Structure 1
């Protein structure tokens, strides 16, 4: 049986099964080896990017079964490296802004390479259009999912988020900040209630139990699911099936999951008295653990 990471950063109830039984356990097995040999977290991230690039080259020959399977194996290797770099950084106390940026670039870079590789192989205008649309959908879906997952993990510890900052900068930046902040504004009412609760930890625990089902639905937005979907589409001889899967079903999952999550929040709000709601609005402050 797997256990959550020591730092409590993930709740296993909403984790993808492949993370629980394969990706994370393998990373933990490799962690002591990486530390003993002085392998840095950034080096692991770059190695993951190399594995992902090799997977992209393999999928470029998706009409050959051997390369389809090789692409899957290399993609799994990248997922393991993607988890291992964070483990190394936490274990060695070397987390940094550069490392987080590099990790993010490697993650997005792997999928970009795979999409471009498959589009080149398909070799049609339709293929490029679908690949581009799928890439945009992927970016939006992943951003929404990561935001909901971060929100869930913070709340179950009884920690409320500070108010959404006012957008600043030029018109384009303000529009981007406004658009990116839509989910936070939609979730703001529950954040105020959590901040003003007499026992935020208990409220967070009850919220977590109720929010597990929508978060499990949203876990279909993980990179793991996309890796499997790419392999299946190539196995069926048509990468366009993956792009359509990205554009239609995964977009529906993102919308349905967010709506379900907001409905869970409203359920809690309906059981809070008006007086408590007014008090929570007055106390809507940042709450950090230990303070």
Structure 2
């Protein structure tokens, strides 16, 4: 008899946890995702659900936030930093566990994202309190703005990665499923709509490619997939500077040395400039890909 809420047939974990190699930076490929995979392997034999893993990961960020604020000094910041690093492992393990146990869903994707975003909203509010103690309300406001900048940059980064995986590998995601499965949840339908709205605004024209790929032959689609990989693989690799990996390192380092303004300089200033540049770059590549697909369609007619 299978465990409650678990499938009778569990897929091979080595297959379901695989991620496109070209989308893995050094930290993900060598540290976070191998640990996530091993954790998911252990959890697949328990009653713990992927959503529970998502929630626990978010709680790690909240505890780190409290420590950054309430336990100042190198020791407290160091412990908080380790907890924040642990979130990366759980953030990968929930998806791996969902695939291993055949429990992937749009709602699970929304819960995962909601836990991540809520946890980091709380983190930045506590960081704002820390900086406000040093610089007054101006410091607190700057940190809040840095948190808002992070949210926008993260959605852009995630959108470009998800678009790439959909175009090249056919991996579905929340935009493509139109948040199917979240409509019966009042709690999560609003965050899903907000995420989809911001993702759409930052897609750099990606909807055009989605629409084109729905109306082409399989032969043209295969050519488009090859061209999308050629064009976007190096672009997506450069976009990884906007990922959470480097932000966690900067936050931890800044708090350990006792200078949280470094976080503001990195996220609100440096990464915001890069976001604009990357958006323009993505739009240029997407326009070129759309032109190619339209040319292939015209040549076939």
TM-score range, shorter chain: 0.7 to 0.9
Matched, 1:79 2:88: yes
Residue number in structure 2 paired with 1:127: 139
SS at match of 1:6: helix
Equivalent of residue 237 in structure 1, options 249, 254, 258: 258
Residue number in structure 1 paired with 2:238: 217
- Gap runs ≥5 in structure 2: 1-12, 179-192
- Inter-partner Cα distance in structure 2 for 1:243 and 1:250: 10
Matched, 1:106 2:115: yes
Residue number in structure 2 paired with 1:168: none
The CA deviation at 1:24 is: 0.7
SS at match of 1:238: coil
Residue number in structure 2 paired with 1:12: 21
The CA deviation at 1:223 is: 1.6
Residue number in structure 2 paired with 1:288: none
The CA deviation at 1:51 is: 1.6
The CA deviation at 1:154 is: 0.8
The CA deviation at 1:29 is: 1.3
The CA deviation at 1:159 is: 8.2
Q: How does 1:1-291 map to 2 (within 5 A)?
A: 6-7=15-16, 10-60=19-69, 63-122=72-131, 123=133, 124-157=136-169, 180-184=199-203, 186-191=205-210, 194-195=213-214, 196=216, 198-268=219-289, 274=295, 276-277=297-298
- Inter-partner Cα distance in structure 2 for 1:101 and 1:177: 10
Moved more, 61-70 or 27-36: 61-70
- Inter-partner Cα distance in structure 2 for 1:220 and 1:40: 31
Answer whether contact 1:215 1:257 (CA < 8 A) is retained: no
CA distances 1:43-95 after superposition (whole Å, capped 9, x unpaired): 21222122212211221257411122211210111111111111112211223
Answer whether contact 2:146 2:267 (CA < 8 A) is retained: yes
Answer whether contact 1:49 1:110 (CA < 8 A) is retained: yes
- CA distance 1:217–1:125, change in 2 (3 Å): same
- Gap runs ≥5 in structure 1: 166-173, 281-291
Answer whether contact 1:158 1:201 (CA < 8 A) is retained: no
CA distances 1:141-167 after superposition (whole Å, capped 9, x unpaired): 11121111110001113689999x9xx
- CA distance 1:276–1:19, change in 2 (3 Å): same
The CA deviation at 1:41 is: 1.4
CA distances 1:180-207 after superposition (whole Å, capped 9, x unpaired): 5344472345445545363312321232
Could you say what the CA RMSD is over the residues aligned between the two structures, in angstroms? 3.3
Answer whether contact 2:37 2:92 (CA < 8 A) is retained: no
The CA deviation at 1:101 is: 3.1
- TM-score, with normalisation over the residues of structure 2? 0.76
- TM-score, with normalisation over the residues of structure 1? 0.78
